Amino acid sequence: LTQHVMTMALSTRRGVYLAALALAARHAAGFRAGAPLRLASSRVAASSTAVVMADRTPLIAGNWKMNLVLDEAVKLAADVKKSSEGAKADVAVCVPFPFLKPVADVLAGSKVALGAQDCWTEDKGAFTGATSIPMISSVGCSHVLTGHSERRSIFGEDDALINAKTKKVLDAGLKAILCIGELKEEREGGTTNAVVSAQLEKGLAGISAEELKRVVIAYEPVWAIGTGLTATPEQAQDTHAFIRSWFVDNYSQAVADAMIIQYGGSVSPETVDELMACPDIDGALVGGASLLGDKFDRIINFN
């Protein structure tokens, strides 16, 4: 098997790589969440039964959360627009609702996609304070975050509501960035894989393989969001590989190979290169560092 896999190894945008054998062994023996997976310095799309190479374009997305005022948002958007010129990754910014239209105007003609941070499940009606998908779409958004840990923990959103929102995004022809991730005690208790598996199963219920072409998964260990802590590249890759294997098991190898899986959780200029060298990490969902033009520039233009 080792010789067969090595014969199949091809050069990709991140180099020559090999991982099917390692993942097969993990499936066969069972593995503990959070245990480091030792990897070659390369990128891969693999399952326990086959090696399938994929050329996924990374997505670097900034989540501005509830920050900035209008003048600051417009200036930052202009900085991101300039930084994206010549970037090898796709780029998006998910901005507060009041800034969507002015930021869209700044980004016009660039490669930077515009995203909203949330949505509601109805098109219109007596839902004070809510923002509908038609509203979001009408100002030029192409992406919408769903399931972010802050929506789950602060606003009490459960998997059923997150699923409904994700379906609403997809029904409108937009792209959903579905956020998943475990708490610190779940990581320490070895249940990371069970947690993200349940979030995927419930969050993607009723969503077809065809619709998944417009879904991005953002794995964000909750204990690393805004804390300055970052999962080690080995921890992040380990969980990303498990997430990709979930798509093999629940959809197909082709779906798994095409799925963009971002890492989020205090991504910084200091950590981005190592994270992006991991074979199953296809970009980043960036919080605090996306508010600083020079830092986000370095992350967008990772090595």
Give the residue from 182, 223, 176, 174 showing the smallest Cα distance to 199: 182
Residues making up the chain, counted from first to last: 303
Of 157, 182, 220, 274, the active-site residue reads 220
Q: Are 244 and 254 in contact (CB under 8 A)?
A: no
Cα(15)–Cα(256) distance, rounded to whole angstroms? 20
Query: What ranges in the chain are assigned the alpha helix state H?
Result: 2-8, 20-29, 70-83, 100-107, 133-138, 149-153, 159-171, 184-188, 192-203, 233-250, 253-258, 272-276, 293-300
Q: Are 58 and 277 in contact (CB under 8 A)?
A: no
Quick one: CA dihedral 18, 21, 24, 26, positive or negative?
A: negative
Decide the pairing of beta strands 283-286 and 260-264: parallel
If DSSP codes are grouped into helix, strand and coil, which group holds residue 56? coil
Q: Is 148 a catalytic residue?
A: yes
Of 148, 150, 157, 186, the active-site residue reads 148
Distances (CA, A) of 265 to 28, 35, 219, 221, 270: 30, 18, 8, 6, 13
If DSSP codes are grouped into helix, strand and coil, which group holds residue 93? strand
Q: Is 4 a catalytic residue?
A: no
Cα(193)–Cα(34) distance, rounded to whole angstroms? 9
User: Count of alpha carbons within 13 Å of 65, Cβ hemisphere only?
Assistant: 14
Phi then psi for 166, rounded to 5 degrees?
-60, -45
- Catalytic sites, residue numbers: 148, 220
